[in-house]
Chains A and B, each alone.
Chain A
């Protein structure tokens, strides 16, 4: 495991101030450039999925399209609605955009490299609770959205903001729980150590259910399709940013994409071995004096970004109640059950339990899951069959106006028709 003499934490701990400043600038530049590229890539790929070409006019292959859009947005009129709370209205996008960059500070983007004659790593800082720090930073981002929705002084943004807060809060629970299994396995919350502990197996393989839950909740967390209820164009005009224009709108846009990249980077770090090469390609890690590890890192991040695009191109938006039901009744219970299984296995192996006990426990869990699934499927089928049954209902009776002769019911009318005949007979 220790092919490097120092851990990354120790390595970057000795950075002088100027190097930290340079790295901070680099991280910021990478975030912004990657966002510009990501917006272009998303538009091109989604267009392909819809048999269109996408933007291809500005620059080679339309690569400068996002830049052109940014310039256009900057020149647009900056509107503040009359009913808006001016100060909060201005602060909200600033909160959103400044917070979303924070997560990148603790993401290890490369292994040990030489930078201006000093050995360091492409990671701004690291501390023992780095992943918690990321969770904290991303959850502050929701303030930007909620405040933007509230301060707009308009209905749709308010609804969008409310939805967004509910959404981010509920999916953060599932997200946090899915990370717990990673903490249990790696024994650390420091991002660089988690990467280092994946030198044999990626956690995406070992902790596959955690990985799936994380990937789902990261889509919910970033307000992206199919969970883009906060800005549902068809329902809420633009959601929380309906009233925003010009640079403030651009800031929200930037924040959204940096957030996507941040959760993708976190997923890469925690589940796909971060900057580490694919298994069997470990020799590439020393190419370009170690800088080649950044290629691996960004390849993995972009893989996640492609997943985001793919989801957007494939799935329709969820209904709000379905979305909440899925988060609270499926993801969170599944996470908790999975964590308990992982913790039990971990304790068993730590206590030196014999292989047969561990194997037996695993087999029991698998059987339990299979049994649960089959019971669920059967009850679902039964419920469906029941729903299709036409219930044996009595003939409906309706209230009728009082007839001149004082008869009220439909049955009464019918009976008197024959009765009249008999009267005549008399």
Chain B
């Protein structure tokens, strides 16, 4: 092991020196021949009739790469409960300090996520976000992912701080807007294993009466 740090032997260096001496001296060959110069003109002339590479952006929108880092999304369980548990790991992972989370305990009257806690306040400041995706890697429940949406310009700085309702995934078929109780006989383990199929009629009734 000790020979790992030993200085390079002279026979290792020698071939390098030899290569140096073989380099031909730099000479100015002058202008290219007339024919070669005319070829250059032909290249530019021909290019005029080629298809252009321009994508006319506002009218034509090419899809991004599938794993493009765009706007974030807070996902839901199949019955509509939020996956976010308000743990703030995303906020701690963020190198740009763009995420602000305030957790809150779920109650039986108002349940937003399976388990103990949910994210009450969830803000991402897109003036600071560098779209590195470390927050997505940090998220223990897959609540935070990124979409391919990249049109994040505005004329007001305030509008670029996205609130929870801006980031939450839309309600799909079979989803109930929280707060509502968990799926019958399910606990947060069942939810995380993905065994909850969708909102049950029982949950719907409770949600109705709560409203």
B27 touches A48 (CB 8 A): no
Give chain B's interface secondary structure class.
loop
Total number of residue pairs linking A and B with CB closer than 8 Å: 41
Q: Which residues of A contact B43 (CB under 8 A)?
A: 314
**Cβ-defined partner of A314 (8 Å) among B24, B40, B51:** B40
Q: Which residues of B contact A347 (CB under 8 A)?
A: none
Q: Which residues of B contact A313 (CB under 8 A)?
A: 44
**C-alpha gap A182/B117 in the complex (Å):** 93
Interface size for A (C-beta < 8 A) is: 17
A48 touches B54 (CB 8 A): no
Whether a CB of chain B sits under 8 angstroms from the CB of A30 is no
**C-alpha gap A380/B33 in the complex (Å):** 12
**Given A48-B48, A51-B50, A52-B53, is A384 in contact with B29 using a C-beta cutoff of 8 Å?**
yes
Whether a CB of chain B sits under 8 angstroms from the CB of A281 is no
**C-alpha gap A290/B185 in the complex (Å):** 96
**C-alpha gap A50/B24 in the complex (Å):** 35
**Given A387-B25, A388-B24, is A310 in contact with B44 using a C-beta cutoff of 8 Å?**
yes
Whether a CB of chain B sits under 8 angstroms from the CB of A6 is no
Contact with A along B37-58 (1 / 0, CB 8 A): 0001101110111111110100
**Cβ-defined partner of B47 (8 Å) among A49, A315, A380, A387:** A49
B27 touches A388 (CB 8 A): yes
**C-alpha gap A49/B47 in the complex (Å):** 5
A384 touches B27 (CB 8 A): yes
Whether a CB of chain A sits under 8 angstroms from the CB of B15 is no
Nearest CB on B from A25, distance (A): 36
The residue in chain A whose Cβ has the minimal distance to the Cβ of B22 is: A390
Among A269-313, those with CB < 8 Å from B are 310, 313
**Cβ-defined partner of B48 (8 Å) among A45, A315, A387, A390:** A45
Could you give 19 example pairs across A and B, Cβ below 8 Å? A45-B48, A48-B47, A49-B44, A49-B45, A49-B48, A51-B50, A51-B52, A51-B53, A52-B52, A52-B53, A53-B52, A53-B54, A310-B44, A314-B40, A314-B43, A314-B44, A384-B29, A388-B24, A388-B25
